[in-house]
Structure 1
Amino acid sequence: MGIANDDAIKQFEILMEGVDESLKNTFQNMHQGYPTETYVRFLRARDWNVEKAHKMLVDSLNWRVQNEIDNILTKPIVPAELYRKVRDSQLVGLSGYSKEGLPVVAIGVGHSSYDKASVNYYVQSHIQMNEYRDRVVMPLASQRYERPISTCIKVLDMTGLKISALNQIKLLTVITTIDDLNYPEKTDTYFIVNAPYIFSACWKVVRPLLQERTRKKIQVLQGCGKDELLKIMDYASLPHFCKREGSGSSRHSRNNGMSDNCFSFDHPFHQELYNFVREQAAPRPPLKQGSFHVAFPEPDADDAKIAKTIETEFHRLEDQKDKNGLVRSLSKQISDLDIKIN
């Protein structure tokens, strides 16, 4: 890793010895037996500046304590039908593992509507999947592959991405900010598949704003990306929308059965996650319907700039679409008039 980096990790460890006991306890839940890997993630997120990385980690630990994140896996979204609605509109799931043992997280960006529950339920569900990934999925993968596994691969399906996605920018900014500040450097590679024109247009203006380490992680693949993804994972681990050209990530897709649709509540991953949370909640008082409220952090200046850029680009594309529609309408009217005159 390098002498300078080793020194940074040692300095980080010394600084962490001085934090409060409550922060040390939640830190154990965070690192799951691999503290060094956690130090490295936060150092990378702050370009190996020890003081900034330490502040970032302490802020994250305080966020965990203040929002009772350690208990979030004891707070199921009830009733189950409500959780099903969340799954049908927030398309995220675990499809399998790469050949190196990294969890493969599939995200249906284009078809996620976020319109079946309140914002707090979507944030609760997102954090629960993060915590289940970090506390259950990755430790089991680490045991299986006999090495620390602390990152995942994400496959983002852009099928169905439309200008109306602008309505989701604020919610997605909240989720992204939570990840950036409290789960940094958890993704090894982002694979973009089924990218329509609207994504390509936005990518051109957003890409230069991203930090270099983030840009290097993002790969835009041709079509559904199956051939490229099969180089790093087996067919069984491919997200369902990558197994056949044009299958897409529709929440109503039944191309291979709902059990193969990793977004579905009926998929083994979501069944295991939901049952795990219900079991963790069992010793506690009877559950009442209601979301688990988490304080939404303020996005940093760079993230806010990116969100604003996306919003501006979406508006530009919408204006362009309206103008093109007006031109087509006028052309049709002129054509119709010409036919009547002749």
Structure 2
Amino acid sequence: MFLFRKQTQNQGENDPSHKDAKVAELRDALGPLSGRSEKYCTDACLRRYLVARDWSIDKAKKMLEETLKWRSTYKPEEIRWRQVAHEGETGKVWRANFHDRSGRTVLIMKPALQNTSCPEDNIKHLVYLMENAILNLPEGQQQMSWLIDFTGFSLNVSISVKTARDIINILQNHYPDRLGVAFLYNPPRIFQAFWKAVRYFLDPVTFQKVKFVYPKDKESEELMKSLFDEENLPTEFGGKATLKYDHEEFSRMMIEDDAKTAKFWGVDDKLLPT
């Protein structure tokens, strides 16, 4: 799961003032907003939806309204670590403690460490981490990077194609243009069957952001070095850093971030289900 965009931006839309006017037009088309919907719909957010719909006001409005409806029922800003911590025990997906050279938040995924069989909990865990990654984006940065390590990958322990499709639908429809780049590191041949099934759910622009990289491959090494500092990049991705997932330490960090999330969205955690 590494997508977050639906269509190609019109290459003729290059005038910044024209784009700003489009953002303003979309805001007018949405009408009055309140509460969390108003908080969500920043200018940067509206711009991402416009990019995802080729700067069409009508299509971007429809997409954004569907997201606001989804957020009002799914309530991603109310998911707390205590609800999904069991999904993260093996470190199958987690937020790294470093950024790439563009300042993007980095999410690390290790499909072979899949540890549960509940699709709903898998999706909730990933949505939680997406929201957390967004919370930790530097000012002015809208995208994130993915590092996906396929060591030990097996179709028997990984998520199903259906669950992958459901995740893709959520990320493409409700987190448009959030992906900067996704590196699929050393995928085995067995992954090809899974990839062939999943790739058709990706739009062409997202597909171009997915990079296959391999160890001891000069082109792959140069690509990784161009986007990551070797001193930060874990050895399993060709870097020099020793990075081991510590569930207790990560949990402490997530609990601290939960307090930031509650403050940002104005949520009283005492009123949330335990």
Please say whether Structure 1 and Structure 2 have the same fold, judged by a TM-score greater than 0.5.
yes
With the shorter chain as reference, the TM-score category is: 0.7 to 0.9
Residue 89 of structure 2: aligned partner: 88
Residue 212 of structure 1: aligned partner: 204
User: Which whole-Å CA distance do the structure 2 matches of 1:233 and 1:61 have between them?
Assistant: 34
How big is the shift at 1:97? 0.5
How big is the shift at 1:179? 0.9
User: Which whole-Å CA distance do the structure 2 matches of 1:205 and 1:190 have between them?
Assistant: 18
Q: Is the 8 A contact 2:231 2:239 kept in 1?
A: no
Structure 2 residue 235 is matched with structure 1 residue 233? no
How big is the shift at 1:64? 1.4
SS in 2 for 1:179: helix
The amino acid of 2:256's aligned partner reads N
SS in 2 for 1:110: helix
1:164-203 to 2 correspondence within 5 Å?
Answer: 164-165=156-157, 168-203=160-195
Residue 25 of structure 2: aligned partner: 14
1:46-61 to 2 correspondence within 5 Å?
Answer: 46-61=53-68
Residue 102 of structure 2: aligned partner: 100
SS in 2 for 1:65: helix
Residue 275 of structure 1: aligned partner: 256
How big is the shift at 1:67? 3.0
Q: Is the 8 A contact 2:111 2:150 kept in 1?
A: yes
SS in 2 for 1:174: helix
User: Which whole-Å CA distance do the structure 1 matches of 2:47 and 2:235 have between them?
Assistant: 33
Structure 2 residue 26 is matched with structure 1 residue 41? no
Structure whose residues are more often helix by fraction? 1
User: Which whole-Å CA distance do the structure 2 matches of 1:288 and 1:70 have between them?
Assistant: 13
Distance 1:23 1:53, change over 3 A: farther
1:278-305 Cα distance to aligned partner (Å, 9 max, x none): 674996438755xxxxxxxxxxxxxxxx
1:173-206 Cα distance to aligned partner (Å, 9 max, x none): 2222111111011011111102101224554676
Residue 299 of structure 1: aligned partner: none
The amino acid of 1:132's aligned partner reads N
Paired residues in the alignment total 255
Q: Is the 8 A contact 2:108 2:148 kept in 1?
A: yes
1:221-241 Cα distance to aligned partner (Å, 9 max, x none): 112855532222223432453
Deviant stretches of 4+, over 6 Å? none
1:79-112 Cα distance to aligned partner (Å, 9 max, x none): xxx72x3113561122211122111211112332
The amino acid of 2:88's aligned partner reads R
How big is the shift at 1:209? 6.9
Distance 1:4 1:244, change over 3 A: closer
* Structure 1 unaligned spans of 5+: 143-147, 246-254, 290-342
User: Which whole-Å CA distance do the structure 2 matches of 1:209 and 1:157 have between them?
Assistant: 21
Q: % of aligned pairs identical?
A: 18
Q: Is the 8 A contact 2:114 2:158 kept in 1?
A: no
How big is the shift at 1:40? 2.8
Which of these two proteins has the greater Rg computed from alpha carbons? 1
Residue 319 of structure 1: aligned partner: none
Residue 242 of structure 1: aligned partner: 237
TM-score (norm 1): 0.63
Q: Is the 8 A contact 2:186 2:215 kept in 1?
A: yes
1:99-139 Cα distance to aligned partner (Å, 9 max, x none): 22111211112332433xx44333332222222222x301x
The amino acid of 1:94's aligned partner reads R
**Cα-Cα RMSD:** 3.4
